[in-house]
Structure 1
Amino acid sequence: MTQEITTPPPNRVTSPPPLGAAQPPGEGTAPPPVREWPALDLDGTAFDPVLADLMREGPLTRIRLPYGEGWAWLATRYDDVKLITNDPRFSRAEVTRRQVTRLAPHFKPRPGSLAWADQPDHNRLRKPVSGAFTVGAMKRLRPRAQEMLDELVDGLLRQGPPADLVERVLEPFPIAVVSEVMGVPAGERERVHTWTRQIISMCGGAEAADRAKEAMYGWIAATVRARRDGGGEDVLSLLGAAVGRGEISEDEAVGLAGPLQIGGEAVTHNCGQMLYLLLTRPALMARMRERPEQRGPVLDELLRYVPHRSTVGLARIALEDVELHGVRIAAGDPVYVSYLAANRDPDVFEDPDRIEPDRDPNPHLSFGNGPHYCTGAVLARLQTELLVGTLLDRLPGLRLAVPAERVAWRRQTMIRGPQTLPVTW
């Protein structure tokens, strides 16, 4: 399946053919054109207009991202996303041997990373840390997490309004909680956070991200080595013990720990988007205050709705020919799925571009699907519930301290969210 690809001007999306003009599916059907997908710097919780166009164009389109080589398939429909992410014919491990089109300028997968493992290796790698992220473990963590959050809110109240919620609460709380679970000593947490922030940023290019990765991974390796015989229940100790028993290598332990440590960044920016939505929608904020016992479903709806990331995450490679919707994905083709698009699929979510607090059922895919379902999903839910609930309960009259259009949003980053969230109360 070959086709000459004409490269459009940078940062422009080539116009799709008129809807309904596609050839009937089947043998000989021309593949869809390749669409350039730049990483747009979008304000607020606006849905990516390029992704919206791709969703309208068809269930399977082809994209080229700013870095890497070639093009990739993109699946946007809910059922297709679930199929691809749970089908062994689509491999993550194979991507590590290729330079596929991608968002990040840097691409150096490490041994042991769950993100790039296929079964049965994935289960072998996940097993040493799974006990630290169970529902039971999170119940035991909850009182300590609430205590850490209360300390931050106490400081906020002592200082008085106005304040930047990102700086004072939304950044330090997930760092503290993730570091508690990981076993990062208090004196090292700010340094580790500096590394994770640089790794997920697109500012500074590959060299800055590589320096941050090497520094953080070197620190993790030394810590895991020092805890091989410690017997602790934190993640770094569990990994050290697994290395000592010969279940995983030290390199694999480092590859496992790094992404888990970075995961705290997602909670910061997801909660920043959720709070921004509440602060700019008085009726939704009133409902959250008046019905605290019904906050859980509203948070799930906000998780479905918020545009968590720029473009797409990690690719897969088709290990054999697969036909979807009459289109042949050939063996060796890279494939991306969009969870953001799946969460707006009108065949699954009625009126998907609307926040519906009573949406039921709400089978969103915000934490992924299949073997690569987020390891820290229960931890992320815990932190989100505590952050939103505690801020609403302890800060009566919480409101933006600036007009909504003056809230600054993150730029050149893979994870979207407010850079600052100035509030008063």
Structure 2
Amino acid sequence: MTVRSYPFSPLEGLRLDPTYAQLRADEPLSRVQLPYGEEAWLAVRYDDVKMVLSDPRFSRAAANGRDEPRMMPHQSDAGTLNMDPPEHSRLRGFVARAFTTRRIEDFRPRTAEIASELVAAMREQGPPVDLVTAFAAPLPVRVICEMLGVPFEDQDKFGIWSEAVVASTSLSPEQIGEYLGAMMEYMYALVAQRRAEPADDLISAMVKARDEKGRLTEHELVDLAAGLLAAGHETTVTQIPNFVYVLLANPKARDELVAHPELVPNAVEELMRYVPLVAGTVFARYATVDIMVGDTLVRAGDPVVASLPSANRDERVFTNPEELDFHRPAYPHLGFGHGIHFCFGAQLARMELQVAVATLVKAFPDLRLAVPEENLAWKPGLLVRGLHSLPVTW
């Protein structure tokens, strides 16, 4: 059987390699060799990806101690993402009780207020403006800081440390260890401060729950808080410019949102499906028994990696998947993952993205690129695709 080198080609912006479509048609489970680690199976069809991510016969914890197929030279210490039930369920349930949908929705007006303040500052500065530094980065950072109770003035520090969470080759293993260590040290101090002086924020709620229930260790509490801080803004900071870039590249779609802002929630879901955020694939699942994935037998002990971007373009599920369609019938995309490791920040990300898109299309209905598209620079060496900057004018 052919073993393909993966990723199939150098990553170029938000382009999805056509090999995925070929594999979906002819070889939905194929053998691949990632830049590091052992060979793996690659799942590319929607149904197969969902199965691999949700079937309890596939394990994340089994990756511990194995040379896991991966995009980066270092082995990932991904906390809850490296766990199976019941340990995963215990920690995930703890976060879910604090990170509720109601708490997130209660923060929507404040998020809209922050977005309006950033837009006002953009208008005052005048075009051209880098949308990344002026809007996309500060919005999620301020939101997660206020929700967690992290001082916003420390953003320069944890903004740097957070890159360690999504780095593949942009940082050395030594730098990653240094940044993650600094983040943990910072969060230990903040947790101790909130225990002494509780406030109306998420970290205080987590500390109270931990101290009253005693269902997790201090290290687990700090690790969860640090993960929320890093993951709670890093991907959204990346997705806002990605979404705007796609809208500017599809002016008909942008104009539709300007004329029909009620489509924004649908648009966010469609953009989550359409934008291939993940650069390659991460977090292999190991078969614990012999198991059929589609028509292919996966032996016990074999790792399988799943392509979320390919699943979201599966022709068997999405009609005309290469098109951006804000009227697409509701069908769950896999932009936030699936199964027990479904992104627990999905509701926060949805809310922030809805507010960001709605605010921008209302404030700048004629928003456009301020530089030729070929001059845009994309960040290399990360597990997510994103722009260094997005110069815009209006």
Which amino acid is 1:315 matched to? Answer: A
Aligned counterpart in structure 1 of residue 77 of structure 2, from 99, 109, 130:
109
Cα deviation, residue 230, structure 1: 4.7
Separation in structure 1 between the aligned mates of residue 151 and residue 306 of structure 2, nearest angstrom: 37
Structure 2 residue aligned with 1:368: 337
Structure 2 residue aligned with 1:62: 31
- Is residue 125–residue 248 contact of structure 1 (8 Å, CA) maintained in 2? yes
Aligned counterpart in structure 1 of residue 215 of structure 2, from 247, 254, 260:
247
Structure 2 residue aligned with 1:7: none
Structure 2 residue aligned with 1:291: 260
Separation in structure 1 between the aligned mates of residue 17 and residue 185 of structure 2, nearest angstrom: 36
Which amino acid is 1:143 matched to? Answer: P
Cα deviation, residue 362, structure 1: 2.9
Within a 5 Å distance, the mapping from 1:8-87 to structure 2 comes to 32-38=1-7, 41-67=10-36, 69-87=37-55
Structure 2 residue aligned with 1:131: 97
**Which range moves more in the overlay, 139-148 or 159-168?**
139-148
Which amino acid is 1:165 matched to? Answer: L
**Which range moves more in the overlay, 318-327 or 140-149?**
318-327
Separation in structure 2 between the aligned mates of residue 49 and residue 83 of structure 1, nearest angstrom: 23
User: Which SS does the other structure have where 1:97 is aligned?
Assistant: coil
Aligned counterpart in structure 1 of residue 378 of structure 2, from 403, 409, 413:
409
Structure 2 residue aligned with 1:215: 182
Structure 2 residue aligned with 1:3: none
* Alignment CA distance shift 1:148-1:40 (3 Å): farther
User: Which SS does the other structure have where 1:85 is aligned?
Assistant: helix
* Alignment CA distance shift 1:325-1:362 (3 Å): closer
* Alignment CA distance shift 1:281-1:247 (3 Å): same
Aligned counterpart in structure 2 of residue 146 of structure 1, from 103, 112, 132:
112
Cα deviation, residue 40, structure 1: 5.2
- Is residue 220–residue 254 contact of structure 1 (8 Å, CA) maintained in 2? yes
Cα deviation, residue 235, structure 1: 3.1
- Is residue 40–residue 310 contact of structure 1 (8 Å, CA) maintained in 2? no
Within a 5 Å distance, the mapping from 1:2-401 to structure 2 comes to 32-38=1-7, 41-67=10-36, 69-109=37-77, 113-201=79-167, 202-228=169-195, 230-245=197-212, 246-263=214-231, 264-401=233-370
Which amino acid is 2:72 matched to? Answer: A
- Is residue 68–residue 75 contact of structure 2 (8 Å, CA) maintained in 1? no
* Alignment CA distance shift 1:325-1:281 (3 Å): closer
- Is residue 242–residue 248 contact of structure 1 (8 Å, CA) maintained in 2? no
Separation in structure 2 between the aligned mates of residue 228 and residue 51 of structure 1, nearest angstrom: 50
Cα deviation, residue 384, structure 1: 0.3
Separation in structure 2 between the aligned mates of residue 286 and residue 55 of structure 1, nearest angstrom: 33
Structure 2 residue aligned with 1:16: none
Task: Report the identity percentage.
Answer: 38
Cα deviation, residue 123, structure 1: 2.1
Higher helix share: 2
User: Structure 2: any 5+ residue segments left out of the alignment?
Assistant: none
User: Which SS does the other structure have where 1:360 is aligned?
Assistant: coil
Structure 2 residue aligned with 1:28: none
- Is residue 378–residue 386 contact of structure 2 (8 Å, CA) maintained in 1? yes
* Alignment CA distance shift 1:212-1:322 (3 Å): same
- Aligned CA RMSD, in angstroms, stands at 1.9
User: Which SS does the other structure have where 2:195 is aligned?
Assistant: coil
Separation in structure 1 between the aligned mates of residue 365 and residue 120 of structure 2, nearest angstrom: 14
Separation in structure 1 between the aligned mates of residue 39 and residue 199 of structure 2, nearest angstrom: 45
* Alignment CA distance shift 1:92-1:339 (3 Å): same
- Give the TM-score taking structure 2 as reference length: 0.93
When Rg is computed on C-alpha atoms for both structures, the one with the higher figure is 1
Q: Deviations over 1:52-71 (max 9, x none)?
A: 4543441211211112x211
User: Which SS does the other structure have where 2:162 is aligned?
Assistant: helix
User: Structure 1: any 5+ residue segments left out of the alignment?
Assistant: 1-31
* Alignment CA distance shift 1:404-1:244 (3 Å): same
